[in-house]
């Protein structure tokens, strides 16, 4: 019997990786027997087609500047059309050094110091960091919790707008919380941006990691937003090549594109050859087949994890419609944040992300990365059940 592609445990210690090599320093979770479930990368190798692209480069052995993006642009156009039903013009695509970089460039290009940037919180922590570091103000619009899922709350958010807001950064699908926003929700986001005159930056980095039964709608397919939309995507999350620091910022509107291009030029940003060669290989039928297997595997891990969490009174895992990042609410344990965090980190020896870094609404949560062999997820489940066994 062939072993599933993602079952083997690959030792990542000693590879200068953030997730495992920094775990003990940052969390005090011992490298000896700890489980790293924080940084959002996967403990899997990319598809063979991506590995082969890198091997070809290594075999050639000359690592000069990257010069011709045509293959890459053809590959990304194919991917967007075949996987997401979106026809792009290759001229709309900028290649940045990842999407945190892309976010920083957008903030820099489309807002001024002191402007407000709207986030639907809790949301990916780096957005907060980048906005604040750029001297802009984070305007937190809290998501509402309805039947255990995050929902947008435009009535409350309308009342919050002061007029100094210039941009909204949408995370679609949403991290953390794993929502796949519906078309109706995305239409409402577009209307909100028009009403408050906001540039909409739609970070769709998780768009390929959508669980069975759900469909991601690219923001670009929503009417009436094209003149204020910046879409961001990447191969890095989907294919686990985040170390290549490559991302796409895709802008259909000519005026926004000109402004963005000027910032790219001013900062001297040009493509990373490793990132582009690997991404070109990834955006292919072979890459697509691998992603289908990956998503099925992640769905299995999610089921294992959710079943275990459901057995621990007081813990609730948000149903993941997308991403491999489980968002667990500890509120009903009645414990302080210090206590439930200590039980996870010190007793269970698991390093998760801390909820408060995702902004308002994240206070009583921890985020667990499930993109690891299922035997590790099972081990984590056993440890969590033991760490909270007095609640059973």
Ligand X SMILES: Cc1ncc(COP(=O)(O)O)c(C=O)c1O
Beta-ladder partners of 366: 328, 354
Q: How far apart are CA 387 and CA 369, in angstroms?
A: 18
CA dihedral 13, 19, 23, 26 (to 10 degrees): 140
**What is the SS3 assignment for 156-223?**
HHHHHCCCCEEEEEEECCCCCCCCCCCHHHHHHHHHHHHHCCCEEEEECCCCCCECCCCCCCCHHHCC
Based on CB atoms, which residue is closest to ligand X, 242 or 315? Answer: 242
Instruction: Return the H-helix or E-strand segment holding 149.
Output: strand 149-151
| # residues near ligand X by CB under 6 A | 13
Q: Does 117 bind ligand X (CB under 6 A)?
A: no
Based on CB atoms, which residue is closest to ligand X, 322 or 344? Answer: 322
Tell me the closest approach of the beta carbon of residue 96 to ligand X, in angstroms: 8
Q: Does 99 bind ligand X (CB under 6 A)?
A: yes
Q: Does 205 bind ligand X (CB under 6 A)?
A: yes
- Could you tell me if 364 and 329 are in contact, meaning their C-beta atoms sit under 8 angstroms apart? yes
Contact region with ligand X (CB under 6 A), list: 55-63, 74-82, 97-105, 221-229: 97-105
Q: Does 369 bind ligand X (CB under 6 A)?
A: no
Tell me the closest approach of the beta carbon of residue 154 to ligand X, in angstroms: 21
By C-alpha distance, which of 244, 168, 167, 247 is closest to 207?
247
> N- to C-terminal Cα distance for the chain?
38
Q: Does 124 bind ligand X (CB under 6 A)?
A: yes
Q: Does 100 bind ligand X (CB under 6 A)?
A: yes
By C-alpha distance, which of 5, 28, 2, 43 is closest to 379?
43
Select the residue interacting with ligand X from 34, 46, 47, 98 (CB under 6 A). 98
Q: Does 230 bind ligand X (CB under 6 A)?
A: no
Tell me the closest approach of the beta carbon of residue 175 to ligand X, in angstroms: 4
Select the residue interacting with ligand X from 43, 108, 165, 203 (CB under 6 A). 203
Based on CB atoms, which residue is closest to ligand X, 16 or 32? Answer: 16
Within 24-43, the residues that bind ligand X by CB under 6 A are 40
Helix axes 48-60, 273-282, angle to 10 degrees: 140
Name the site residues for ligand X (rule: CB under 6 A): 40, 98-100, 124, 171, 175, 203, 205, 234, 236, 242, 247
């Amino acid at each position: 019997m062939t072993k599933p592609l993602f079952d083997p445990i690959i030792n990542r210690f000693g590879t200068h990786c953030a997730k495992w090599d920094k775990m003990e320093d940052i969390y005090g979770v011992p490298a000896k027997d700890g489980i790293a479930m924080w940084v959002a990368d996967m403990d899997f190798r990319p598809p063979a087609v991506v590995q082969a692209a890198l091997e070809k480069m290594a075999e050639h052995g000359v690592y000069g500047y990257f010069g011709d993006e045509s293959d890459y642009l053809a590959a990304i156009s194919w991917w967007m059309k075949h996987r997401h039903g979106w026809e792009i013009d290759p001229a709309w695509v900028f290649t940045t050094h990842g999407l945190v970089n892309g976010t920083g460039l957008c903030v820099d290009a489309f807002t001024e110091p002191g402007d407000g940037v709207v986030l639907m919180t809790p949301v990916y922590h780096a957005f907060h960091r980048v906005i604040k570091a750029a001297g802009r103000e984070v305007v937190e619009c809290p998501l509402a919790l309805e039947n255990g899922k995050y929902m947008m709350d435009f009535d409350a958010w309308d009342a919050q707008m002061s007029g100094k807001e210039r941009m909204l950064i949408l995370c679609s699908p949403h991290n953390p919380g794993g929502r796949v926003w519906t078309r109706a929700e995305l239409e409402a986001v577009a209307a909100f941006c028009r009403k408050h005159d906001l540039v909409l930056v739609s970070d769709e980095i998780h768009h390929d990691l959508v669980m069975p039964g759900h469909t991601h709608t690219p923001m670009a397919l929503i009417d009436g937003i094209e003149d204020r939309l910046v879409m961001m995507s990447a191969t890095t999350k989907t294919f686990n090549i985040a170390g290549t620091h490559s991302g796409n910022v895709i802008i259909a509107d000519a005026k926004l594109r000109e402004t963005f291009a000027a910032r790219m030029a001013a900062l001297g940003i040009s493509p990373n050859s490793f990132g582009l060669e690997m991404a070109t290989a990834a955006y292919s039928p072979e890459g697509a087949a691998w992603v289908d297997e990956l998503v099925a595997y992640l769905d299995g891990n999610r089921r294992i994890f959710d079943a275990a969490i459901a057995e621990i009174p007081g813990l609730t895992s948000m149903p993941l419609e997308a991403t491999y990042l489980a968002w667990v609410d500890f509120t009903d344990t009645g414990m302080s944040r210090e206590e439930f965090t200590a039980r996870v980190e010190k007793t269970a020896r698991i390093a998760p992300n801390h909820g408060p870094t995702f902004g308002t609404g994240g206070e009583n949560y921890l985020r667990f990365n499930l993109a690891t062999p299922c035997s590790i997820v099972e081990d984590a489940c056993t440890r969590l059940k033991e760490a909270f066994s007095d609640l059973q």
